[in-house]
Amino acid sequence: MVEKKLTVGYIQFQPQFGQPDKNISYILERLNKIKDADLIVLPELCTTGYAFNNREEAKTYAEPVPQGKTIQILLSIAKKRDMYIVAGINEKEHDNLYNSAVFLSPNGYVGKYRKNHLFNKEKIIFNQGDLKFPIFHIDDIKVGILICFDWIFPEAWRTLVLKGADIICHPSNLVLKNLAHRSIPVTAMINRIYIICSNRIGIERNLTFIGGSMIVDPKGNIVHRAPSDKEESYVTIINPYKARDKKITERNDVLSDRRPDIYEL
């Protein structure tokens, strides 16, 4: 099998609250400035902003997936630029609201992930995710998605790894300093995967977002980390097949050495 390398990256920026048209225009501008990329990850709720006062306010800015206006615009740029895009979306389905992320391809809409672990006030705004942990594909490369606070649950990462994920995309609106940024490299190392964390920056209704978007390799090395308070687009070339080498020593493998038979409570 010929190993295919991918050009992957993120866009870290400050979405403007309640201004989806302005945000999508900015995202398109940044995407068009990226010379070449196979996969770009955008932050959580990147088209609407994050700090909704209540569920009713969030509903005002929610959109159906994939019919929503901003998703359709992102689909057009994915096709035009021949790239895959992961973007955090405020999703509306009937009377339900979800903190979601869509997986878009050059050939159209592929699927979505709905945030399973809601953070703080999100619990009174959004419904819990109900799609478990789907896997998406870029040819034979498997991609998973987690959103922001999902990071603190090792079961979420490991579930995707057991399903074969080579890359996990992590659209985020992180606000807790020195927590996720310390955890993500360790998580990549113990699962032997690539992680692309796309965080936002700025202050929104007394919430300060801490940036630091990063790409981490399967050995836990930080390939690149963005500043905490500046907008940045970044891409790099990775070999996702390195995530399939789970060996720690000649005799140890992080997956085959597992003992599920002794893990019951």
Q: Is 93 a catalytic residue?
A: no
Q: Does domain 6-262 sit in CATH 3.60.110.10?
A: yes
Q: Does residue 2 carry a pLDDT above 80?
A: no
Given the residues 46, 122, 142, 148, the one annotated as active site: 148
β-pairing, 167-171 vs 247-249, is: unpaired
**Would you list the domain boundaries of the chain?**
6-262
Q: Does residue 88 carry a pLDDT above 80?
A: yes
Helices (DSSP H) in the chain: which residue ranges? 20-33, 55-61, 69-81, 154-162, 180-191
For the whole model, what pTM was predicted?
0.98
Given the residues 115, 122, 142, 204, the one annotated as active site: 115
Residue 66 preceded by cis peptide, ω within 30: yes
What pLDDT sits at residue 3? Answer: 82
| Whether the Cβ atoms of residue 171 and residue 86 lie closer than 8 Å to each other | yes
Question: Is the model more confident about 104 or about 35?
Answer: 104
Give the dihedral sign, CA 18/19/21/27: negative
User: For all residues of the chain together, what is the average pLDDT?
Assistant: 97
How far is the CA of 44 from the CAs of 50, 70, 86, 97, 148, in angstroms? 8, 14, 10, 14, 7
Q: Is 22 a catalytic residue?
A: no
What pLDDT sits at residue 56? Answer: 98
Q: Is 232 a catalytic residue?
A: no
